[in-house]
Structure 1
Amino acid sequence: MSATSVPGASRSLPGPIPTIPELDQYQDQPKQAPAGKVGKTGVLEMRFVDRGDKTILRDMYRKTPLLVQQALYWDEALPTMPCVYMISTSGSVLQGDRLFLTIEMEPGSLAHVTTQSATKVHRMDANHASQLQKVVLAENSYLELMPGVTIPHRNARYYARTDITVDPTATLLFSEIVMSGRKYHDGGEMFVYDLYSTMIKAERPDGKNLFTEKLVIEPARFPVRYGGIMGDHDVFGNVILLTPKEHADAILEEIVPGRDGKVVSGASRLPNDAGLIFKVLGPESEPVKAKVRDFWSLVRKAVLDTTIPPVPLWG
Protein backbone atom coordinates (compact mmCIF):
# COMPACT_ATOMS: atom_id res chain seq x y z
CA MET A 1 0.00 0.00 0.00
CA SER A 2 1.08 3.57 -0.63
CA ALA A 3 -0.42 4.81 2.62
CA THR A 4 0.43 4.40 6.26
CA SER A 5 -2.56 2.92 8.09
CA VAL A 6 -3.03 2.55 11.83
CA PRO A 7 -6.57 1.16 12.14
CA GLY A 8 -6.32 0.25 15.79
CA ALA A 9 -4.67 3.36 17.16
CA SER A 10 -6.42 5.66 19.61
CA ARG A 11 -7.34 8.98 18.07
CA SER A 12 -9.64 11.83 19.01
CA LEU A 13 -12.66 12.55 16.83
CA PRO A 14 -12.17 15.12 14.04
CA GLY A 15 -14.55 17.60 15.65
CA PRO A 16 -17.52 18.01 18.00
CA ILE A 17 -20.88 16.63 16.91
CA PRO A 18 -23.01 19.73 16.29
CA THR A 19 -26.33 20.39 17.97
CA ILE A 20 -28.97 21.36 15.44
CA PRO A 21 -32.70 21.94 16.08
CA GLU A 22 -34.00 19.31 13.65
CA LEU A 23 -32.20 16.56 15.63
CA ASP A 24 -33.60 17.53 19.02
CA GLN A 25 -36.46 15.01 18.84
CA TYR A 26 -34.13 12.17 17.79
CA GLN A 27 -31.85 11.85 20.82
CA ASP A 28 -33.29 8.66 22.38
CA GLN A 29 -30.90 5.73 22.62
CA PRO A 30 -31.38 2.60 20.48
CA LYS A 31 -32.20 -0.63 22.29
CA GLN A 32 -29.19 -2.19 20.57
CA ALA A 33 -25.70 -0.62 20.68
CA PRO A 34 -25.76 2.95 22.07
CA ALA A 35 -25.22 5.80 19.63
CA GLY A 36 -21.61 6.62 18.83
CA LYS A 37 -20.09 3.67 20.71
CA VAL A 38 -17.72 0.93 19.51
CA GLY A 39 -18.63 -0.14 15.98
CA LYS A 40 -20.83 2.90 15.48
CA THR A 41 -18.18 5.64 15.36
CA GLY A 42 -16.48 5.44 11.99
CA VAL A 43 -13.43 7.54 11.18
CA LEU A 44 -11.66 7.85 7.84
CA GLU A 45 -8.77 10.27 7.30
CA MET A 46 -6.80 10.57 4.05
CA ARG A 47 -3.95 12.82 2.94
CA PHE A 48 -2.91 12.99 -0.70
CA VAL A 49 0.59 14.15 -1.69
CA ASP A 50 2.07 15.03 -5.08
CA ARG A 51 5.22 12.91 -5.48
CA GLY A 52 6.18 14.39 -8.84
CA ASP A 53 5.45 11.42 -11.08
CA LYS A 54 2.03 10.85 -9.51
CA THR A 55 -0.14 11.66 -6.51
CA ILE A 56 -0.14 9.09 -3.72
CA LEU A 57 -2.38 8.40 -0.76
CA ARG A 58 0.40 9.17 1.67
CA ASP A 59 -1.42 8.84 4.99
CA MET A 60 -4.61 7.04 5.89
CA TYR A 61 -6.37 6.25 9.17
CA ARG A 62 -9.50 4.14 9.34
CA LYS A 63 -11.85 2.99 12.05
CA THR A 64 -14.76 0.64 11.42
CA PRO A 65 -17.37 0.85 10.00
CA LEU A 66 -15.49 3.08 7.52
CA LEU A 67 -12.78 1.48 5.42
CA VAL A 68 -10.41 2.21 2.55
CA GLN A 69 -8.15 -0.51 1.17
CA GLN A 70 -5.78 1.21 -1.26
CA ALA A 71 -5.56 3.79 -4.02
CA LEU A 72 -6.05 2.58 -7.59
CA TYR A 73 -4.89 4.16 -10.84
CA TRP A 74 -7.56 3.11 -13.31
CA ASP A 75 -8.43 6.43 -14.97
CA GLU A 76 -6.69 6.31 -18.37
CA ALA A 77 -7.26 10.06 -18.90
CA LEU A 78 -5.41 10.81 -15.65
CA PRO A 79 -3.04 7.90 -14.98
CA THR A 80 -1.23 9.85 -12.22
CA MET A 81 -4.43 10.36 -10.20
CA PRO A 82 -5.31 7.95 -7.38
CA CYS A 83 -8.90 6.71 -7.28
CA VAL A 84 -10.13 5.72 -3.83
CA TYR A 85 -13.27 3.80 -2.87
CA MET A 86 -14.76 4.39 0.57
CA ILE A 87 -16.36 1.25 1.99
CA SER A 88 -18.83 0.66 4.81
CA THR A 89 -18.28 -2.63 6.64
CA SER A 90 -21.83 -2.48 8.04
CA GLY A 91 -23.36 -2.31 4.55
CA SER A 92 -25.54 0.69 5.35
CA VAL A 93 -25.80 3.67 7.69
CA LEU A 94 -27.53 2.59 10.89
CA GLN A 95 -29.25 4.42 13.74
CA GLY A 96 -26.70 5.78 16.18
CA ASP A 97 -23.89 5.84 13.62
CA ARG A 98 -21.47 8.76 13.92
CA LEU A 99 -19.23 8.95 10.85
CA PHE A 100 -16.26 11.28 10.34
CA LEU A 101 -14.41 11.82 7.06
CA THR A 102 -11.34 14.03 6.56
CA ILE A 103 -9.58 14.56 3.22
CA GLU A 104 -6.45 16.70 2.92
CA MET A 105 -5.06 17.63 -0.48
CA GLU A 106 -1.45 18.77 -0.39
CA PRO A 107 -0.12 21.32 -2.97
CA GLY A 108 -0.40 20.10 -6.56
CA SER A 109 -2.08 16.81 -5.64
CA LEU A 110 -5.14 15.38 -7.36
CA ALA A 111 -7.53 12.59 -6.45
CA HIS A 112 -10.89 11.01 -7.17
CA VAL A 113 -12.82 9.74 -4.12
CA THR A 114 -16.09 7.83 -4.34
CA THR A 115 -17.99 5.01 -2.60
CA GLN A 116 -18.16 1.35 -3.52
CA SER A 117 -21.96 1.55 -3.91
CA ALA A 118 -24.98 3.58 -2.94
CA THR A 119 -25.20 4.85 0.64
CA LYS A 120 -28.27 3.24 2.16
CA VAL A 121 -29.56 4.97 5.30
CA HIS A 122 -31.38 2.16 7.09
CA ARG A 123 -34.80 2.33 8.75
CA MET A 124 -34.69 3.77 12.27
CA ASP A 125 -36.87 3.57 15.36
CA ALA A 126 -34.55 5.52 17.68
CA ASN A 127 -31.88 8.23 17.56
CA HIS A 128 -30.34 9.30 14.20
CA ALA A 129 -27.21 8.94 12.07
CA SER A 130 -24.73 11.65 11.16
CA GLN A 131 -21.70 12.13 8.93
CA LEU A 132 -19.29 15.03 9.36
CA GLN A 133 -16.86 15.73 6.53
CA LYS A 134 -13.83 18.00 6.49
CA VAL A 135 -12.12 18.72 3.17
CA VAL A 136 -8.95 20.83 2.87
CA LEU A 137 -7.43 21.76 -0.49
CA ALA A 138 -4.02 23.44 -0.70
CA GLU A 139 -2.77 25.48 -3.65
CA ASN A 140 -3.21 24.00 -7.14
CA SER A 141 -4.76 20.80 -5.81
CA TYR A 142 -7.71 19.07 -7.46
CA LEU A 143 -10.28 16.75 -5.85
CA GLU A 144 -13.33 14.98 -7.22
CA LEU A 145 -15.45 13.88 -4.23
CA MET A 146 -18.29 12.03 -5.93
CA PRO A 147 -19.98 9.39 -3.75
CA GLY A 148 -22.74 7.14 -5.03
CA VAL A 149 -26.40 7.96 -4.53
CA THR A 150 -27.89 8.24 -1.05
CA ILE A 151 -31.04 6.21 -0.40
CA PRO A 152 -32.90 7.07 2.83
CA HIS A 153 -35.18 4.23 3.93
CA ARG A 154 -38.49 4.55 5.76
CA ASN A 155 -38.21 6.56 9.02
CA ALA A 156 -34.51 7.29 8.46
CA ARG A 157 -33.03 10.34 10.24
CA TYR A 158 -29.80 11.51 8.65
CA TYR A 159 -27.63 14.59 9.10
CA ALA A 160 -24.55 15.38 7.01
CA ARG A 161 -22.25 18.39 7.25
CA THR A 162 -19.32 19.20 4.96
CA ASP A 163 -16.77 21.85 5.96
CA ILE A 164 -14.45 22.90 3.15
CA THR A 165 -11.25 24.94 3.23
CA VAL A 166 -10.09 25.70 -0.30
CA ASP A 167 -7.17 27.68 -1.64
CA PRO A 168 -8.10 30.18 -4.41
CA THR A 169 -6.03 28.17 -6.92
CA ALA A 170 -7.53 24.77 -6.04
CA THR A 171 -10.56 22.95 -7.47
CA LEU A 172 -13.13 20.80 -5.67
CA LEU A 173 -15.94 19.00 -7.48
CA PHE A 174 -18.36 17.66 -4.87
CA SER A 175 -21.58 15.91 -5.91
CA GLU A 176 -24.54 14.55 -3.98
CA ILE A 177 -27.40 12.57 -5.52
CA VAL A 178 -30.32 11.83 -3.19
CA MET A 179 -33.11 9.36 -3.93
CA SER A 180 -36.65 9.78 -2.65
CA GLY A 181 -36.25 6.38 -1.01
CA ARG A 182 -36.57 2.77 -2.14
CA LYS A 183 -38.87 3.61 -5.01
CA TYR A 184 -39.62 0.03 -6.03
CA HIS A 185 -39.58 -1.61 -2.59
CA ASP A 186 -42.84 -3.04 -1.26
CA GLY A 187 -45.01 -0.92 -3.51
CA GLY A 188 -42.81 2.14 -3.21
CA GLU A 189 -41.08 4.01 -0.36
CA MET A 190 -40.88 7.58 -1.59
CA PHE A 191 -40.34 10.46 0.83
CA VAL A 192 -41.29 8.40 3.87
CA TYR A 193 -38.04 9.08 5.74
CA ASP A 194 -38.26 11.29 8.84
CA LEU A 195 -35.37 13.66 8.24
CA TYR A 196 -32.69 14.40 5.68
CA SER A 197 -30.55 17.38 6.62
CA THR A 198 -27.34 18.45 4.93
CA MET A 199 -25.13 21.52 5.17
CA ILE A 200 -22.11 22.61 3.12
CA LYS A 201 -19.86 25.43 4.28
CA ALA A 202 -16.76 26.71 2.49
CA GLU A 203 -14.02 29.15 3.44
CA ARG A 204 -10.56 30.28 2.36
CA PRO A 205 -7.41 29.28 4.30
CA ASP A 206 -7.41 32.74 5.94
CA GLY A 207 -10.90 32.08 7.33
CA LYS A 208 -12.88 34.19 4.84
CA ASN A 209 -16.35 32.70 4.48
CA LEU A 210 -17.34 31.84 0.92
CA PHE A 211 -20.85 30.43 1.29
CA THR A 212 -23.12 28.18 3.32
CA GLU A 213 -25.90 26.03 1.92
CA LYS A 214 -28.30 24.05 4.10
CA LEU A 215 -31.07 21.70 3.06
CA VAL A 216 -33.61 20.27 5.52
CA ILE A 217 -36.23 17.79 4.30
CA GLU A 218 -38.94 16.54 6.68
CA PRO A 219 -41.58 15.09 4.35
CA ALA A 220 -44.16 14.37 7.06
CA ARG A 221 -44.05 17.99 8.27
CA PHE A 222 -43.44 19.82 5.00
CA PRO A 223 -44.58 17.92 1.86
CA VAL A 224 -42.12 18.11 -1.02
CA ARG A 225 -44.42 17.36 -3.96
CA TYR A 226 -45.17 21.03 -4.61
CA GLY A 227 -43.98 22.94 -7.66
CA GLY A 228 -40.74 24.75 -6.91
CA ILE A 229 -39.61 21.92 -4.62
CA MET A 230 -39.61 18.35 -6.01
CA GLY A 231 -42.90 18.38 -7.90
CA ASP A 232 -43.24 15.00 -9.59
CA HIS A 233 -39.48 14.35 -9.52
CA ASP A 234 -37.98 11.60 -7.34
CA VAL A 235 -34.22 12.24 -7.53
CA PHE A 236 -32.24 15.34 -6.59
CA GLY A 237 -28.67 16.06 -7.68
CA ASN A 238 -26.60 18.80 -6.08
CA VAL A 239 -23.09 19.59 -7.36
CA ILE A 240 -20.71 22.13 -5.84
CA LEU A 241 -17.75 23.32 -7.90
CA LEU A 242 -15.14 25.43 -6.14
CA THR A 243 -12.61 26.64 -8.70
CA PRO A 244 -10.85 29.81 -9.92
CA LYS A 245 -13.16 32.30 -11.64
CA GLU A 246 -11.72 31.79 -15.12
CA HIS A 247 -12.66 28.09 -14.99
CA ALA A 248 -16.13 28.84 -13.63
CA ASP A 249 -16.74 31.40 -16.39
CA ALA A 250 -15.74 28.94 -19.13
CA ILE A 251 -17.92 26.15 -17.71
CA LEU A 252 -20.96 28.36 -17.18
CA GLU A 253 -20.87 29.42 -20.84
CA GLU A 254 -21.22 25.77 -21.89
CA ILE A 255 -24.22 24.93 -19.68
CA VAL A 256 -27.69 25.01 -21.23
CA PRO A 257 -30.23 25.14 -18.39
CA GLY A 258 -33.80 23.92 -18.71
CA ARG A 259 -35.75 20.73 -19.29
CA ASP A 260 -34.39 17.73 -21.16
CA GLY A 261 -37.24 15.26 -21.34
CA LYS A 262 -38.26 14.72 -17.72
CA VAL A 263 -34.97 16.02 -16.32
CA VAL A 264 -34.55 19.65 -15.21
CA SER A 265 -31.13 21.17 -14.56
CA GLY A 266 -29.38 24.50 -14.21
CA ALA A 267 -26.34 26.24 -12.78
CA SER A 268 -25.61 29.51 -11.03
CA ARG A 269 -22.62 31.27 -9.53
CA LEU A 270 -21.64 30.87 -5.91
CA PRO A 271 -20.97 33.99 -3.84
CA ASN A 272 -17.51 35.55 -3.58
CA ASP A 273 -16.40 34.13 -6.96
CA ALA A 274 -16.11 30.76 -5.25
CA GLY A 275 -17.34 28.77 -8.26
CA LEU A 276 -20.63 27.26 -9.41
CA ILE A 277 -23.55 25.26 -8.07
CA PHE A 278 -25.34 22.84 -10.40
CA LYS A 279 -28.70 21.25 -9.56
CA VAL A 280 -30.65 18.46 -11.26
CA LEU A 281 -34.12 16.99 -10.76
CA GLY A 282 -35.24 13.79 -12.45
CA PRO A 283 -37.57 10.80 -12.25
CA GLU A 284 -34.84 8.16 -11.87
CA SER A 285 -31.22 8.04 -10.81
CA GLU A 286 -29.70 7.26 -14.22
CA PRO A 287 -30.75 10.44 -16.09
CA VAL A 288 -29.70 12.53 -13.09
CA LYS A 289 -26.31 10.76 -13.03
CA ALA A 290 -25.99 11.45 -16.77
CA LYS A 291 -26.50 15.20 -16.23
CA VAL A 292 -23.96 15.18 -13.43
CA ARG A 293 -21.52 13.41 -15.75
CA ASP A 294 -22.08 16.10 -18.38
CA PHE A 295 -21.17 18.76 -15.83
CA TRP A 296 -18.19 16.70 -14.64
CA SER A 297 -16.98 16.50 -18.23
CA LEU A 298 -17.07 20.29 -18.55
CA VAL A 299 -15.06 20.61 -15.33
CA ARG A 300 -12.36 18.16 -16.45
CA LYS A 301 -12.03 19.93 -19.79
CA ALA A 302 -11.82 23.44 -18.33
CA VAL A 303 -9.57 22.70 -15.36
CA LEU A 304 -7.37 19.79 -16.51
CA ASP A 305 -7.87 19.84 -20.29
CA THR A 306 -8.79 16.16 -20.36
CA THR A 307 -11.82 13.87 -20.44
CA ILE A 308 -13.76 11.87 -17.87
CA PRO A 309 -13.64 8.07 -17.86
CA PRO A 310 -16.37 6.07 -19.62
CA VAL A 311 -19.31 4.75 -17.64
CA PRO A 312 -18.09 1.53 -15.97
CA LEU A 313 -19.76 -1.73 -16.87
CA TRP A 314 -20.93 -2.12 -13.28
CA GLY A 315 -22.26 1.47 -13.04
Structure 2
Amino acid sequence: MTAPLDLRGETAAGRHRRAELTFALGGGRSALVRQVTPYPFHVTKPFALDRARPDLATLYLQSASGGVYRADRLDLSLTVKAGAAAHVTSQAATVVHDTGALPARQSLTIDVHADAFAAVTLDPLVLFPGAELTTTTHIRLGEGALALVADGVAWHDFSGAGRPFGRLTAETLVSGPAGGVLLRDRSTVRGAELCGERSLLGPGAGAYGAALLLGPMEAMPRPEALDAALDALGVRSGASPLPNGAGLGLRMIAANGGRITLAVEAVFALAVEAMLGFAPARRRK
Protein backbone atom coordinates (compact mmCIF):
# COMPACT_ATOMS: atom_id res chain seq x y z
CA MET A 1 0.00 0.00 0.00
CA THR A 2 1.32 3.45 -0.90
CA ALA A 3 1.83 5.79 2.04
CA PRO A 4 -0.53 8.82 2.06
CA LEU A 5 0.78 12.13 0.72
CA ASP A 6 0.55 15.47 2.47
CA LEU A 7 0.12 18.78 0.64
CA ARG A 8 3.85 18.96 -0.22
CA GLY A 9 3.96 15.44 -1.61
CA GLU A 10 5.74 13.97 1.42
CA THR A 11 4.88 10.48 2.61
CA ALA A 12 4.27 9.30 6.15
CA ALA A 13 7.51 7.33 5.83
CA GLY A 14 9.57 10.55 5.66
CA ARG A 15 11.40 12.49 2.98
CA HIS A 16 14.17 11.21 0.72
CA ARG A 17 15.92 14.14 -0.88
CA ARG A 18 19.33 14.47 -2.52
CA ALA A 19 21.10 17.81 -3.12
CA GLU A 20 24.10 18.27 -5.41
CA LEU A 21 26.57 21.16 -5.54
CA THR A 22 29.50 21.41 -7.96
CA PHE A 23 32.13 24.16 -8.05
CA ALA A 24 34.59 24.74 -10.88
CA LEU A 25 37.30 27.32 -11.54
CA GLY A 26 36.74 29.83 -14.31
CA GLY A 27 37.82 33.42 -14.93
CA GLY A 28 39.78 33.51 -11.70
CA ARG A 29 36.73 32.60 -9.60
CA SER A 30 35.24 29.39 -8.27
CA ALA A 31 31.72 29.23 -9.67
CA LEU A 32 28.76 27.09 -8.66
CA VAL A 33 28.26 25.31 -11.99
CA ARG A 34 25.70 22.72 -10.88
CA GLN A 35 23.02 23.09 -8.25
CA VAL A 36 20.29 20.60 -7.36
CA THR A 37 18.60 21.69 -4.12
CA PRO A 38 15.15 20.15 -3.60
CA TYR A 39 13.09 20.96 -0.51
CA PRO A 40 14.14 21.13 2.32
CA PHE A 41 17.60 22.13 1.01
CA HIS A 42 18.18 25.79 0.18
CA VAL A 43 21.34 27.74 -0.62
CA THR A 44 22.33 31.36 -1.02
CA LYS A 45 24.35 32.63 -3.95
CA PRO A 46 28.12 32.07 -3.62
CA PHE A 47 30.06 34.92 -2.03
CA ALA A 48 33.67 36.01 -2.59
CA LEU A 49 34.48 37.22 0.92
CA ASP A 50 38.28 37.27 0.88
CA ARG A 51 40.24 39.93 -1.00
CA ALA A 52 43.37 37.81 -0.75
CA ARG A 53 41.66 34.88 -2.50
CA PRO A 54 38.73 36.00 -4.66
CA ASP A 55 38.71 32.50 -6.15
CA LEU A 56 37.46 31.08 -2.82
CA ALA A 57 33.66 30.83 -2.99
CA THR A 58 31.59 30.68 0.20
CA LEU A 59 28.08 29.22 0.10
CA TYR A 60 25.57 29.19 2.95
CA LEU A 61 23.50 26.00 3.20
CA GLN A 62 20.04 26.34 4.75
CA SER A 63 17.06 24.17 5.64
CA ALA A 64 13.57 25.35 4.79
CA SER A 65 11.77 22.80 6.95
CA GLY A 66 12.70 23.54 10.56
CA GLY A 67 14.93 20.55 11.08
CA VAL A 68 15.22 16.81 10.58
CA TYR A 69 12.15 14.65 11.20
CA ARG A 70 11.35 10.96 11.60
CA ALA A 71 12.32 8.69 8.69
CA ASP A 72 14.00 11.57 6.81
CA ARG A 73 16.82 10.62 4.47
CA LEU A 74 18.74 13.70 3.41
CA ASP A 75 21.79 13.37 1.14
CA LEU A 76 24.22 16.09 0.09
CA SER A 77 26.91 15.72 -2.57
CA LEU A 78 29.63 18.38 -2.93
CA THR A 79 32.14 18.31 -5.79
CA VAL A 80 35.02 20.77 -6.12
CA LYS A 81 36.69 20.49 -9.51
CA ALA A 82 40.43 20.71 -10.17
CA GLY A 83 42.01 23.95 -8.91
CA ALA A 84 38.77 25.37 -7.49
CA ALA A 85 38.23 26.46 -3.87
CA ALA A 86 34.91 26.29 -2.06
CA HIS A 87 33.62 26.74 1.48
CA VAL A 88 30.16 25.44 2.37
CA THR A 89 28.79 26.38 5.77
CA SER A 90 25.40 26.23 7.46
CA GLN A 91 23.43 29.31 8.44
CA ALA A 92 22.51 28.00 11.90
CA ALA A 93 22.23 24.86 14.01
CA THR A 94 19.95 22.05 12.77
CA VAL A 95 17.34 20.56 15.10
CA VAL A 96 16.72 16.81 14.99
CA HIS A 97 13.20 16.16 16.29
CA ASP A 98 11.88 13.06 18.06
CA THR A 99 12.02 10.32 15.43
CA GLY A 100 10.02 7.75 17.34
CA ALA A 101 10.42 4.28 15.80
CA LEU A 102 11.61 5.74 12.46
CA PRO A 103 15.22 7.00 12.75
CA ALA A 104 16.48 9.66 10.34
CA ARG A 105 19.56 9.43 8.11
CA GLN A 106 21.91 12.03 6.64
CA SER A 107 24.79 11.52 4.23
CA LEU A 108 27.51 13.83 2.97
CA THR A 109 29.78 13.01 0.02
CA ILE A 110 32.67 15.37 -0.74
CA ASP A 111 34.79 14.96 -3.89
CA VAL A 112 37.85 17.23 -3.89
CA HIS A 113 39.64 17.01 -7.24
CA ALA A 114 43.33 17.60 -7.94
CA ASP A 115 44.82 20.74 -6.35
CA ALA A 116 41.39 21.86 -5.13
CA PHE A 117 40.36 23.09 -1.68
CA ALA A 118 37.08 22.25 0.05
CA ALA A 119 35.86 23.28 3.49
CA VAL A 120 32.58 22.13 5.01
CA THR A 121 31.97 23.72 8.41
CA LEU A 122 28.57 23.02 9.91
CA ASP A 123 26.86 24.43 12.98
CA PRO A 124 25.97 21.74 15.52
CA LEU A 125 23.11 19.33 15.27
CA VAL A 126 20.77 19.85 18.23
CA LEU A 127 19.26 16.52 19.25
CA PHE A 128 15.85 16.74 20.92
CA PRO A 129 14.54 14.02 23.26
CA GLY A 130 13.83 10.82 21.34
CA ALA A 131 15.91 11.88 18.31
CA GLU A 132 17.72 9.03 16.58
CA LEU A 133 20.01 9.79 13.64
CA THR A 134 22.59 8.01 11.49
CA THR A 135 25.14 10.12 9.59
CA THR A 136 27.66 9.00 6.98
CA THR A 137 30.43 11.12 5.46
CA HIS A 138 32.65 10.04 2.56
CA ILE A 139 35.50 12.32 1.50
CA ARG A 140 37.44 11.55 -1.68
CA LEU A 141 40.71 13.42 -2.21
CA GLY A 142 42.46 13.99 -5.53
CA GLU A 143 46.18 14.53 -5.98
CA GLY A 144 47.27 17.68 -4.12
CA ALA A 145 43.78 18.28 -2.67
CA LEU A 146 43.21 19.99 0.68
CA ALA A 147 40.06 19.71 2.78
CA LEU A 148 38.52 20.67 6.09
CA VAL A 149 35.37 19.06 7.47
CA ALA A 150 34.14 20.20 10.89
CA ASP A 151 30.86 19.88 12.77
CA GLY A 152 29.37 19.31 16.19
CA VAL A 153 26.53 17.87 18.26
CA ALA A 154 24.53 19.32 21.15
CA TRP A 155 21.41 18.13 22.94
CA HIS A 156 18.47 19.93 24.48
CA ASP A 157 15.26 19.03 26.31
CA PHE A 158 12.87 21.92 25.78
CA SER A 159 10.72 20.69 28.71
CA GLY A 160 13.59 21.12 31.16
CA ALA A 161 13.16 17.57 32.45
CA GLY A 162 16.56 16.37 31.25
CA ARG A 163 15.20 13.76 28.84
CA PRO A 164 17.95 12.34 26.60
CA PHE A 165 18.02 11.99 22.84
CA GLY A 166 17.82 8.45 21.50
CA ARG A 167 20.97 7.53 19.62
CA LEU A 168 23.51 9.02 17.22
CA THR A 169 25.50 6.77 14.89
CA ALA A 170 28.23 8.29 12.71
CA GLU A 171 30.65 6.91 10.14
CA THR A 172 33.36 8.82 8.26
CA LEU A 173 35.46 7.44 5.41
CA VAL A 174 38.36 9.23 3.70
CA SER A 175 39.76 7.92 0.40
CA GLY A 176 43.02 8.95 -1.25
CA PRO A 177 43.88 9.71 -4.89
CA ALA A 178 44.35 6.02 -5.71
CA GLY A 179 41.02 5.13 -4.14
CA GLY A 180 42.50 3.44 -1.09
CA VAL A 181 41.07 4.02 2.36
CA LEU A 182 43.11 6.53 4.38
CA LEU A 183 40.91 6.39 7.45
CA ARG A 184 37.56 5.14 8.68
CA ASP A 185 35.94 6.36 11.89
CA ARG A 186 32.79 4.87 13.43
CA SER A 187 30.92 5.78 16.59
CA THR A 188 27.58 5.14 18.28
CA VAL A 189 26.40 6.95 21.39
CA ARG A 190 23.11 7.02 23.28
CA GLY A 191 21.78 10.18 24.83
CA ALA A 192 21.58 8.55 28.24
CA GLU A 193 25.38 8.14 28.13
CA LEU A 194 25.95 11.87 27.67
CA CYS A 195 23.25 13.57 29.72
CA GLY A 196 23.49 14.26 33.44
CA GLU A 197 26.24 14.02 36.00
CA ARG A 198 27.49 10.63 34.77
CA SER A 199 28.17 11.84 31.24
CA LEU A 200 30.96 10.08 29.38
CA LEU A 201 32.26 13.54 28.45
CA GLY A 202 32.63 14.71 32.02
CA PRO A 203 30.72 17.19 34.21
CA GLY A 204 29.30 20.26 32.53
CA ALA A 205 29.64 18.94 28.98
CA GLY A 206 26.67 19.70 26.76
CA ALA A 207 28.18 19.42 23.28
CA TYR A 208 31.07 17.95 21.34
CA GLY A 209 32.62 18.42 17.93
CA ALA A 210 35.19 17.05 15.54
CA ALA A 211 37.28 18.28 12.64
CA LEU A 212 39.32 16.60 9.93
CA LEU A 213 42.08 18.69 8.35
CA LEU A 214 43.14 16.71 5.31
CA GLY A 215 46.35 17.13 3.35
CA PRO A 216 50.12 16.89 3.86
CA MET A 217 51.38 17.71 7.33
CA GLU A 218 53.37 20.70 6.06
CA ALA A 219 50.03 22.30 5.12
CA MET A 220 48.51 21.79 8.56
CA PRO A 221 48.27 24.29 11.44
CA ARG A 222 50.31 23.38 14.50
CA PRO A 223 48.32 21.21 16.95
CA GLU A 224 49.38 23.44 19.82
CA ALA A 225 48.00 26.49 17.97
CA LEU A 226 44.64 24.74 17.58
CA ASP A 227 44.58 23.73 21.24
CA ALA A 228 45.48 27.25 22.40
CA ALA A 229 42.82 28.91 20.24
CA LEU A 230 40.10 26.56 21.46
CA ASP A 231 41.21 26.74 25.09
CA ALA A 232 40.72 30.51 24.91
CA LEU A 233 37.09 29.82 23.93
CA GLY A 234 36.49 27.51 26.88
CA VAL A 235 36.60 24.40 24.68
CA ARG A 236 38.58 21.32 25.66
CA SER A 237 40.31 19.82 22.64
CA GLY A 238 42.97 17.50 21.39
CA ALA A 239 44.62 17.33 17.96
CA SER A 240 46.71 14.46 16.63
CA PRO A 241 48.03 13.16 13.28
CA LEU A 242 45.65 10.99 11.27
CA PRO A 243 46.67 7.54 9.98
CA ASN A 244 48.32 7.10 6.58
CA GLY A 245 49.54 10.71 6.54
CA ALA A 246 46.01 11.98 5.91
CA GLY A 247 46.43 15.14 8.01
CA LEU A 248 45.18 16.14 11.46
CA GLY A 249 42.19 15.03 13.52
CA LEU A 250 40.65 17.20 16.21
CA ARG A 251 38.12 16.41 18.97
CA MET A 252 36.31 19.08 21.01
CA ILE A 253 34.15 19.13 24.16
CA ALA A 254 32.23 22.19 25.36
CA ALA A 255 29.46 23.31 27.68
CA ASN A 256 27.05 24.03 24.82
CA GLY A 257 26.61 24.13 21.07
CA GLY A 258 27.40 27.84 20.90
CA ARG A 259 30.94 27.15 22.09
CA ILE A 260 31.34 24.44 19.47
CA THR A 261 30.19 26.89 16.80
CA LEU A 262 32.88 29.36 17.87
CA ALA A 263 35.44 26.55 17.95
CA VAL A 264 34.61 25.46 14.40
CA GLU A 265 35.00 29.07 13.23
CA ALA A 266 38.42 29.24 14.89
CA VAL A 267 39.50 25.94 13.33
CA PHE A 268 38.41 27.20 9.90
CA ALA A 269 40.47 30.38 10.30
CA LEU A 270 43.61 28.50 11.37
CA ALA A 271 43.19 25.84 8.70
CA VAL A 272 42.76 28.36 5.88
CA GLU A 273 45.77 30.34 7.06
CA ALA A 274 47.93 27.20 7.07
CA MET A 275 46.55 25.60 3.90
CA LEU A 276 45.99 28.66 1.69
CA GLY A 277 48.34 31.21 3.22
CA PHE A 278 45.99 34.01 4.32
CA ALA A 279 43.69 34.92 7.21
CA PRO A 280 40.08 34.54 6.04
CA ALA A 281 37.35 37.07 6.67
CA ARG A 282 34.75 36.12 9.24
CA ARG A 283 31.74 34.26 7.85
CA ARG A 284 28.89 36.19 9.46
CA LYS A 285 25.60 34.46 10.26
The TM-score by the shorter chain falls in which range?
0.7 to 0.9
SS at match of 2:48: coil
TM-score normalized by structure 2? Answer: 0.87
1:187 has 2:160 as partner: yes
Match of 1:206 in 2: 178
Residues 44, 63 of structure 1: 8 Å contact kept: yes
Q: Which amino acid aligns with 2:88?
A: V
SS at match of 1:63: coil
User: Mapping of 1:3-42 within 5 angstroms?
Assistant: 33-36=11-14, 40-42=15-17
Q: Which amino acid aligns with 1:170?
A: A
Aligned mates of 2:40, 2:263 — CA distance in 1: 31
Report the CA distance shift for 1:171/1:229 in structure 2 as closer, same or farther (over 3 A).
farther
Q: 1:104 aligns with which of 70, 79, 84?
A: 79
Residues 35, 98 of structure 1: 8 Å contact kept: no
Match of 2:274 in 1: 302
Q: Structure 1, unaligned stretches of length 5 or more?
A: 1-28
User: Per-residue deviation at 1:283?
Assistant: 0.8
Residues 17, 75 of structure 2: 8 Å contact kept: yes
Residues 20, 78 of structure 2: 8 Å contact kept: yes
User: Per-residue deviation at 1:31?
Assistant: 11
Residues 197, 217 of structure 1: 8 Å contact kept: yes
Aligned mates of 2:256, 2:166 — CA distance in 1: 21
SS at match of 2:69: coil
Aligned mates of 1:195, 1:102 — CA distance in 2: 24
Report the CA distance shift for 1:259/1:147 in structure 2 as closer, same or farther (over 3 A).
closer
The structure richer in strand per residue is 2
User: Per-residue deviation at 1:253?
Assistant: 5.4
TM-score normalized by structure 1? Answer: 0.79
User: Per-residue deviation at 1:30?
Assistant: 11
Q: Which amino acid aligns with 2:64?
A: T
Match of 2:37 in 1: 62
Match of 1:157 in 2: 132
1:229 has 2:200 as partner: yes
1:156-210 CA-partner distances (Å, limit 9, x unpaired):
111110011112411111111111224xx322646x1111111110011322110
Q: Aligned residues: percent identity?
A: 24
Q: How many residues align?
A: 277
| Deviates most, 75-84 or 253-262 | 253-262
1:129 has 2:129 as partner: no
User: Per-residue deviation at 1:226?
Assistant: 7.5
SS at match of 2:267: helix
Q: Structure 2, unaligned stretches of length 5 or more?
A: none
1:172 has 2:168 as partner: no
1:86 has 2:54 as partner: no
Aligned mates of 1:150, 1:137 — CA distance in 2: 24
- When the two chains are superposed, the root-mean-square deviation of aligned CA atoms in Å is 2.6
Aligned mates of 2:55, 2:129 — CA distance in 1: 42
Residues 297, 307 of structure 1: 8 Å contact kept: yes
